[in-house]
Chain A
Amino acid sequence: MSKTMEELYSPLVKGKQKAAARNWNSSKLWRKLKPYLYLLPAAILLGIWMYKPLIHTFYLAFHKWSMVPGTDKLFVGFDNFTRLLQNEAFAGAIGNTVFYTLGLLPFSIAIPLVLAVVTNQMNPRMKNFYRALFFIPMILAPVSVSAIWRWLFHPSNGIVNHLLLKLGFVQEQIAFFSDASWAKWIILLITGWKMLGFSTIMFAAALTGINREYYEAGAIDGAGSFRQFLYITVPLMSPMILFMLTMSLLFSSQWTFAYIDILTTGGPYGTSTNIYYEMYRFAFSNLNVGVSSAAAMLFFVLFGLIALSLNAVSRRFAFYDN
């Protein structure tokens, strides 16, 4: 077999070598350039729309500018940063960011993990049916979702207020989006609603990869279901858990952005805003480019550090079944 292959290919190879020898220099250069040529379209677009703007934002963070074309950018040093840190609204936004980030963890980790484990042993047809349904919130657009929830929670005519009144839970209708004690909870609820089905499916997929023999061994050693969950399931799921944890911690404030903008615009009195929404407002409502850029840089670095440490944690603790 190998001999016939050799015979088949040798004329071709020889021909190639000859041609190659003839213009050795240019073809060598060509081969050296080729990888970069294939990378070029991506590199150009990334350069123009990702790296250059990032550097530009860094530059803008030290300048005062109002985005008006033709006006000069005034160098102000660290002024934007100090103004940012003294801004009370921004302190509140940081608090809310923490609220959203931690508040989303039950929806992205705890509940889905339990649901995935509980439903693991189902007949596959039913499982697929359920999966197909509770995946739907994930693929819907944030704007459509906001419109629906705005109607559900409408202060005077929404179905939720209808039910609460009828069942006697409340005496008068709740203005969910303009009541400071409700607004951020509703936004958290919507974000969680969108996340729940997706996380459950991710964990369910990771569960099917676990070898059943571990559970049999555990059962023989007398471990009940809870201990099996704690000592077998959780360690073997740790890569997926850490992955979802990373996603959730890094991106939950970005996921809430659209809901904040459409449902509350950060109000009432800034009680539902978060850092990303404030950056947007600094730039496009207050036309204060410098402060917006300073905030963006600050949190780019901060989240970068969080990502790095999470990465280190997952390297140290994630348990892989080889």
Chain B
Amino acid sequence: MNKRSQVLSMFQHGALALMCAAAIIPLYWMVISSLKNESEIFTASLFPLQPTFGNYSYAFSQMPIVRMIFNSFGVSILMTVLQLATGLLAAYALVRWRFRGKSLIFALLSVTWLIPFQAIMIPNYVLINDMGLNETLLGIVLPFGVSTFAILSLYQAFQSFPGVLIEAACIDGLSDWGILSRLILPNIRSTVASLGIIQFINAWNEYLWPMLVTKDMNSAPIQIGLKLFVNSDTNMWGSLMAATTVSCLPILLIYLVLRRQIVDSFIRFGIK
């Protein structure tokens, strides 16, 4: 290795290490603070000298954390499943057939990309209230039951599937439902899984809508509960960080297991 490339390599690692530090230090500080006892929490020590789980037990006693995590899982799984189901059906129709109004449908789907949630929140809020679905998980899920992002992503995935195979299966007498569920789906499993991961994470992190629908901690997802706890304006920073750690934990654990796949799926599908 010559001198120039050594310098370059050092610069590379320096830049990256700096970025990693910036990404990780806030998280490190969260975990460390959650383990410090009352006298230590206001000091700048880099690790707890007498680690304690007292903050966790206080946080769990102050709000129904288990219940809220459970709510979050319920909302996120239901949303993801609904979005994938409606998306698969719609994308199949768009790939498989030529029919009247198809270009209009594409135009309508693309427009949703530009609709900010603030432009539909009031009618949706009123409707959910009229249906009596406020403070329910279904109320959080319903408006997000379909995602045009999912439809269009699946449409792209379907397009790369060889049409000849579909024709052949059709001649074989396989019904359209059979083609979708037994021919296409098994072949694009990984795409659907990647998309599912993204939709799950997005659902888990959703903020504005769950905040409008739920006010009570027992029916709220963990994000909303955490927000209520943050705003309760106590100076209990240790237990607040404990609650925050718990709220991050499911996503971080999923990330630990599916690291490569999550990064790849975000690269593939981008964000919305």
Contact = CB atoms under 8 A, between A and B. Distances in A.
B19 A142 contact: no
14 contacts: A39-B93, A46-B108, A57-B122, A115-B15, A128-B260, A130-B16, A134-B16, A137-B23, A139-B251, A143-B224, A148-B30, A151-B240, A166-B44, A193-B23
Contacts of A139: 201, 205, 251, 255, 262
Interface stretch (B47-55, B168-176, B183-191): B168-176
Contacts of B145: 45, 49
Contacts of B22: 134, 193, 196
Contact of B44 (A32, A136, A159, A289): A159
A62 interface: no
Interface in A63-86: 67, 69
A4 to B, nearest CB: 14
Given A67-B122, A139-B262, A193-B22, A150 B251 contact: no
Q: Across the A-B interface, give the 4 residue pairs with the lowest CB-CB distance, nearest first.
A: A38-B93, A53-B123, A53-B120, A296-B119
Interface of B: 11-13, 15-16, 19-20, 22-24, 26-27, 29-30, 33, 41-42, 44, 85-87, 89-90, 92-94, 96-97, 99, 105, 108, 112-127, 129-130, 142-146, 148, 151, 171-173, 176, 201, 204-205, 207-208, 211-212, 223-224, 226-227, 230-231, 237, 240-241, 243-244, 247-248, 251-252, 255, 259-260, 262-263, 266-267, 270-271
Contact of B19 (A32, A115, A122, A157): A115
A118 B247 contact: no
A276 B114 contact: no
Contacts of B266: 135, 138, 198, 201
B61 to A, nearest CB: 18
Q: What range describes how many residues of A lie at the interface?
A: 35 or more
Contacts of A43: 90
A19 B267 CA distance: 48
A9 B113 CA distance: 45
Interface in A120-165: 121-122, 126, 128, 130-152, 154, 157, 159, 162-163
Given A12-B172, A50-B112, A131-B263, A42 B19 contact: no
A34 interface: yes
B120 A54 contact: yes
A258 interface: yes
Interface string A278-309: 01100110000100110011011001100100
A41 interface: yes
Contact of A57 (B11, B123, B143): B123
Interface in A1-50: 9, 12-13, 16, 32, 34-39, 41-43, 45-46, 48-50
Contacts of A150: 230
A139 B87 CA distance: 23
Contacts of A296: 116, 118-119
B11 A141 contact: no
A196 B19 contact: yes
B27 A143 contact: no
A247 B114 contact: no
A262 B89 contact: no
A49 B120 contact: yes
A57 B44 contact: no
A315 interface: no
Contacts of B244: 144, 147-148
Contacts of A200: 19
A142 B201 CA distance: 12
Nearest to B44: A162
Contacts of B97: 34-35
